[in-house]
Amino acid sequence: MTSTPDHEQNAYRQGAPTPTPRPLERWFPRDPTTVGDDPDYRFTLANERTFLAWVRTALALSAGGLLALTVLDDVRGEEFLGIALLAISFLTAATAYRRWALNERAMRLNTPLPSSRLPLLMAIGVAVVSLVAALIAALN
């Protein structure tokens, strides 16, 4: 038993720099593999799969948006549906690398994984889009 939490000891041992406030690094963090120790390879691969799952979610949303614009061409309100799905896909893709880098960094420094509001935002966003789609279907 030690009085300092694990992650503080690790941060001290590694001389880990605190995350910088520069805007670019907020969305595009530096290479996380330069700090800490290699974790169990299964954790690294699980993090990689999670990143890929977010990328696929972004691609599926963009495919849905593009399909809405192409297939529902003569339906009123299809522009809103398509653009909303594409905007959500852009936001999802834009946060994917950041999530991967912060998770990898936390695993290498043995600190808790960072929490994210993205799953909640995604659920709300898709729910709103579904409601709008139902409304469009009812009105046409």
Binding stretches for another protein (CB under 8 A): 31-33, 38-39, 41-42, 44-46, 48-49, 51-53, 55-56, 58-63, 65-67, 69-70, 79, 82-83, 86-87, 89-90, 92-94, 96-97, 100-101, 104
Rounded to 5 degrees, φ, ψ at 77 are 90, 0
Give the nearer residue to another protein in terms of CB position, either 75 or 93: 93
Q: The tokens of 134 are what? A: 């139902």
Q: Identify the CA nearest to 91 among candidates 132, 120, 130.
A: 120
Least Å distance, CB 46 to another protein, is 7
Q: The tokens of 47 are what? A: 């993090």
Residues 6+ apart with CB under 8 A from 31: 101
Tokens 């009085």 sit at which residue? 3
Q: Identify the CA nearest to 65 among candidates 57, 120, 102.
A: 57
Q: Distance between terminal CA atoms of the chain?
A: 67
Least Å distance, CB 4 to another protein, is 26
Least Å distance, CB 69 to another protein, is 6
Give the nearer residue to another protein in terms of CB position, either 5 or 128: 128
Least Å distance, CB 130 to another protein, is 19
Give the nearer residue to another protein in terms of CB position, either 32 or 125: 32
Give the nearer residue to another protein in terms of CB position, either 5 or 56: 56
